[in-house]
Structure 1
Amino acid sequence: MAFPVDILTNVDHEFLELAAEEYMSQILYRNPDTAEYFSLPDSKQIEIGLCNVSFVPLYGTDTKKKLLALFLPDDFSTVVGLYLLGQWWGVEDVLKTAEPSRTGLIKVSTLGERIVLYVLNRIVLRNEKSSEDVSFLCHCEHESAKILWKDGEAIGFYSYKPKGSLCRSFLTQCYQLPVMDTVFVRNFRQEYIGLKFPLSEAIYKVCEKYFSIHPADKEILWEVEKIGSPFQRTLIANRLQKLKLKGKENICIFCFSDM
């Protein structure tokens, strides 16, 4: 089965948006007795109508290019589907690929990949972030970015500003060096995740902050030596606890040495 990212390689946005506008016209003049439904991942069905369908800008403040989105009827901030290629696709299906060669980090170049980047940033990230986290801005149409693909699914991205590229905040100035802009990797709690030993102090602080937001994940993040066999890995939460105790011991020793 091909997914939108596999098909939207040589399709321009005008064609995509025209099909969406035609569909909206059908909804507007549709027989009220003829309802259309969309199935959510939990098998619940929601009715599709003018009350929960709307165009959203693909590139943020640039409203010239839009996507037709389906929202939950009782929550207009939650997108559950996009109208692409003449049909509704669930968010998770938009992130899938049937192309075996699409694995690892791949530069965003096609319309389909731009839509995947949008979904990861504006839908998935917003759903998974805590209330304390700051949302990324929408990526512009020509944003330099790469998507991380694994097992037939887009699981993350990063965007960057190449050296010499124009700065949007200062239209007459260019970046003097490559700049990492945004980074996001999905959190799959059902899998163990290893970080290669030794970790820097900065990474420990990142992990500590992460555990304060997601305490249930303390059992999945490991510090890994060599190949990560059971005797070559340590729970990062345990490592943090030992570092805290060691820090307290050092403070006590320092206090006694001053007496």
Structure 2
Amino acid sequence: MAFPVDILTNVDHETLELTAEEYMSQLPYRNTEYFSLSDSEQIEVGLCNVSFVPLYGTDTEKKLLALFSPDDSNTIVGLYLLDRWWGVEDVLKTAEPSRTGLIKVSTLGERIVLYVLNRIVLRNEKSGEDVFFLCHCEREAAKILWEDGEAIGFYSFKPKGSLCRNFVTQCYQLPVMDTIFVRKCHRGQGHAIKILEDFVGSFRNEYIGLKFPLSEAIYKVCEKYFSRYPADKELLWEVEKIGSPFQRILIANRLQKLKLKEKDQVVSKLNFDEGDATAPMEIEITKIQETTEYTVEIVVL
């Protein structure tokens, strides 16, 4: 069975949108239609839960027809692609055996897979450390991670010399990875390391950036990466804005500072636990001074 990413290799967006518009115009006159979710739940398809959504964020010219959950008007459960509805999980599948590992996004079908991972799956699986990413633009440089016939993650980056979205008159001074995501059920299996290896390998012997701020999880990935490739400690930078020399810091140096900070915190806790008689009073004085607007005189009897 072929899936959307396999079918939409040579289809342009105009054709895709035309079929969706024709379906939408006929929807009020069609017999009652139901769509089956992966858990066998049946959802009635109607004007109340079907609408167009922009594929590329603020670019409203290119759209997809989406089916929304009756329980949550913000949750997309299906997309109308080439004359039929597809569930979100099916959009992420492929029947092409050669589609494995990290593959550059180039076709319309791959753009739609990237949209589903970023705008639908990430929101459904969001944990405390995950952040929402901006919609990818039509020509975003990105790669999708495929495994066992399924898209399980992605990363996107800004090539050196490309215009910065927030500073349109300035260009990135080095290639910068700005988004990285691996599905929850595939985490802890080394996929993030593979992604970082792929990104670095694409720009060998160049300075490479990861967009500020990095999460704790990404710092751990970088630490593991440096343990395998210590020579790359001078290549990877945490980058703000366009990554000019004053807008970046070596990630290896950042990791060293975080370790020193963590060590200091451990030492302070040990000193406190060992019964430093002055520590409780000093902490209490600090609390009082920070939470009042007047001078407090403390008398120790």
Same fold (TM > 0.5): yes
Report % sequence identity. Answer: 76
Task: Tell me which amino acid in the other structure corresponds to 1:74.
Answer: D
- The runs of 5 or more residues in structure 1 that have no matched partner are 197-202, 210-243
Aligned equivalents of 1:95 and 1:120: distance in 2? 8
Aligned equivalents of 1:120 and 1:14: distance in 2? 22
Aligned equivalents of 1:205 and 1:77: distance in 2? 29
1:22 is paired with a residue of what secondary structure?
Answer: helix
The normalised TM-score by structure 1 is 0.74
Shift of 1:142: 0.4
Q: Which residue of 2 aligns with 1:217?
A: none
Q: Determine whether 1:8 maps to 2:19.
A: no
Q: Which residue of 2 aligns with 1:233?
A: none
Q: Determine whether 1:169 maps to 2:166.
A: yes
CA displacement, residues 203-242 of structure 1 (integer Å, 9 cap, x when unaligned): 9953999xxxxxxxxxxxxxxxxxxxxxxxxxxxxxxxxx
2:184 is paired with a residue of what secondary structure?
Answer: coil
Q: Which residue of 2 aligns with 1:23?
A: 23
The normalised TM-score by structure 2 is 0.64
Which structure shows the higher strand fraction?
1
RMSD, aligned CA? 3.2
Shift of 1:248: 5.1
2:80 is paired with a residue of what secondary structure?
Answer: strand
Shift of 1:139: 0.3
Q: Which residue of 2 aligns with 1:91?
A: 88
Task: Tell me which amino acid in the other structure corresponds to 2:189.
Answer: I
Which structure shows the higher helix fraction?
2
- The runs of 5 or more residues in structure 2 that have no matched partner are 194-213, 221-261, 278-301
Task: Tell me which amino acid in the other structure corresponds to 2:148.
Answer: D
- Equivalent residues in 2 for 1:119-138, closer than 5 Å: 119-130=116-127, 133-138=130-135
2:116 is paired with a residue of what secondary structure?
Answer: helix
Q: Which residue of 1 aligns with 2:62?
A: 65
The answer (yes or no) to whether the contact 2:129–2:215 under 8 Å persists in 1 is no
Question: Are residues 207 and 66 of structure 1, via their aligned partners in 2, closer, same or farther at CA, if it must alter by over 3 Å?
Answer: closer
Shift of 1:132: 6.6
Question: Are residues 251 and 159 of structure 1, via their aligned partners in 2, closer, same or farther at CA, if it must alter by over 3 Å?
Answer: same
Task: Tell me which amino acid in the other structure corresponds to 1:107.
Answer: K
Shift of 1:125: 0.1
Aligned equivalents of 2:175 and 2:189: distance in 1? 29
Shift of 1:166: 1.4
CA displacement, residues 81-136 of structure 1 (integer Å, 9 cap, x when unaligned): 00001100000000000000100000000000000000000000000003674311
Shift of 1:193: 3.2
CA displacement, residues 41-92 of structure 1 (integer Å, 9 cap, x when unaligned): 1111010000000000000000000000000123111100000011000000
The structure 1 segments of at least 4 consecutive aligned residues displaced by more than 2 Å after TM superposition are: 130-134, 191-196, 203-209, 247-256
